[in-house]
Structure 1
Amino acid sequence: MAVARSAVVRCAAFSGRWLWLILCVLAVLSESRADEVLLSDVVMRTADGEQRLAGRVVAEGAAGELLLEDPAGRMRQLSAAEVVGREDRRGVWQVRCAAFSGRWLWLILCVLAVLSESRADEVLLSDEVLLSDVVMRTADGEQRLAGRVVAEGAAGELLLEDPAGRMRQLSAAEVVGREDRRGQWQPADAEQLGRLLKTEAGSGFEVYQTEHYLVCSNCSEGYNEFIGRLLETVYAQYFDFWKKLNVDVASAGRPLPVLMFQSESEFQAYASRIHPETGFEGVPGFYSVRDNLVLVVDLTGDRSLREVSAVRKKLADRPLQVATVVHEAVHQLSFNSGLQQRFADFPVWYSEGLSLYFEPPSERSAVLWSRPGQVSPRHHPEFVRLVRDETLPVPLADLLVNDSAFQSADAAVAAYAESWGLVSYLVKKKPLEFAEYARRLQRLQPLQAVTGSARQQMFTEAIGETPAELSGRLIPWVRRLRVAR
Structure 2
Amino acid sequence: MLSQRHLPEVLTLASLLLLSPSVLGRNAAAEQFVFRDLVDGQVTGEKHVVNGEAVVEAVDGGVLVCADDGRIWTIQPDQITHREPGPPPPAISQDEIERRMLEELPSGFAAFRTAHYVILHQGNIEYARDVAMLFESLYRAFFAYWKNQRVDLEVPKYPLVAVVLRDRDEFVKHASAEIGDTAANVIGYYHLASNQMTTYRVPNIERNIATIIHEATHQLAYNCGLQTRFADNPMWVSEGLAMFFESPDLSNPRGWRGVGRINQVNLMRWRKYQSSRPSDSLVTMFADDSRFRSAATAEDAYGESWAFTYFALRTMKQQYIDYLQQLSKIKALEELTGRERIEMIESAFGMTIAELDEKFVTYMRRVR
Q: TM-score, normalised by structure 2?
A: 0.85
2:218 paired with 1:331: yes
Q: Which runs of structure 2 are paired with 1:35-434 in the superposition (5 Å)?
A: 129-135=29-35, 138=38, 139-142=41-44, 144-145=47-48, 146-153=50-57, 155-156=59-60, 157-171=62-76, 174-175=78-79, 179-276=83-180, 278-300=181-203, 318-388=205-275, 391=278, 395-434=281-320
Distance 1:384-1:462 versus aligned 2 partners, 3 A rule: same
Question: How many angstroms does 1:164 deviate by?
Answer: 2.9
* Shift, 1:408, TM fit: 0.9
Deviations 1:51-70 (A, max 9, x none): xxxxxxxxxxxxxxxxxxxx
Q: Distance in 2 between matches of 1:128 and 1:444?
A: 16
Question: RCO (CA 8 Å, sep 6+): is it higher in 1 or 2?
Answer: 2
Q: CA deviation at 1:128?
A: 7.5
Q: TM-score, normalised by structure 1?
A: 0.65
Deviations 1:178-236 (A, max 9, x none): 52314222353211111222233322221111111111112533212211111111111
Residue pair 1:360, 1:375 contacting (<8 A) in 2 also: yes
Specify whether residues 149 and 229 from structure 1 end up closer, same or farther in structure 2 by C-alpha distance, changes over 3 A only.
Answer: same
What's the offset of the Cα at 1:171? 4.7
Aligned partner of 2:310: which letter?
Answer: S
Over the aligned positions, Cα root-mean-square deviation in angstroms equals: 2.2
**d(CA) in 1 for partners of 2:306, 2:275:** 18
Aligned to 2:323: 437
CA distance in 1 between counterparts of 2:34 and 2:300 reads 42
**One-letter amino acid of the counterpart of residue 198, structure 2:** L
Q: Is the alpha carbon distance of 1:382 and 1:169 closer, same or farther for their aligned partners in structure 2, counting shifts above 3 Å? A: same
Deviation at 1:449, TM superposition (A): 1.8
Distance 1:153 1:140, change over 3 A: closer
The aligned amino acid for 2:128 is: N
CA contact (8 A) 2:108 2:123 kept: no
Residue identity matched to 2:366 = R
Q: Distance in 2 between matches of 1:200 and 1:319?
A: 32
Measure, in 2, the Cα distance between the counterparts of 1:268 and 1:136.
Answer: 26
Between structure 1 and structure 2, the one with the greater Rg is: 1
| Residues matched between the structures, number | 337
State the match for 2:13 in structure 1.
none
The one-letter code of the counterpart of 2:29 is V
User: Cα deviations across residues 73-108 of structure 1 (Å, max 9, x unaligned)?
Assistant: xxxxxxxxxxxxxxxxxxxxxxxxxxxxxxxxxxxx
How far apart, CA to CA, are the structure 2 residues paired with 1:457 and 1:191?
46
* Structure 1 Cα separation of the partners of residues 58 and 277 of structure 2: 43
Which of residues 449, 454, 476 is equivalent to 2:340? 454
DSSP 3-state at the match of 1:480: coil
Q: Name the CA distance, whole Å, in 2 between partners of 1:471 and 1:219.
A: 49
Aligned partners of 1:413, 1:160: CA distance in 2, in Å? 34
Write the distance in 2 (CA, Å) between the matches of 1:155 and 1:418.
40
Contact kept in structure 2, 1:247 and 1:438, CA below 8 Å: no
The AA in structure 1 aligned to 2:75 is L
On the 8 A contact 1:129/1:185 being kept in 2, the answer is: no
